[in-house]
Amino acid sequence: MMDPSTIVCRCEEINIDEIESAMKNGAETFDDIKRLTRCGMGTCQAKICFGPVSEIIAEYLDKPLEVIQP
Question: What is the reported pLDDT for 2?
Answer: 77
Chain centre distance of CA 12: 12
pLDDT, one tens digit per residue, over 11-63 is 999 999 999 999 999 999 999 999 999 999 999 999 999 999 999 999 999 99
Question: What is the reported pLDDT for 5?
Answer: 95
Question: What is the reported pLDDT for 68?
Answer: 85
Give the contacts of 25 (CB within 8 A, at least 6 positions apart): 36
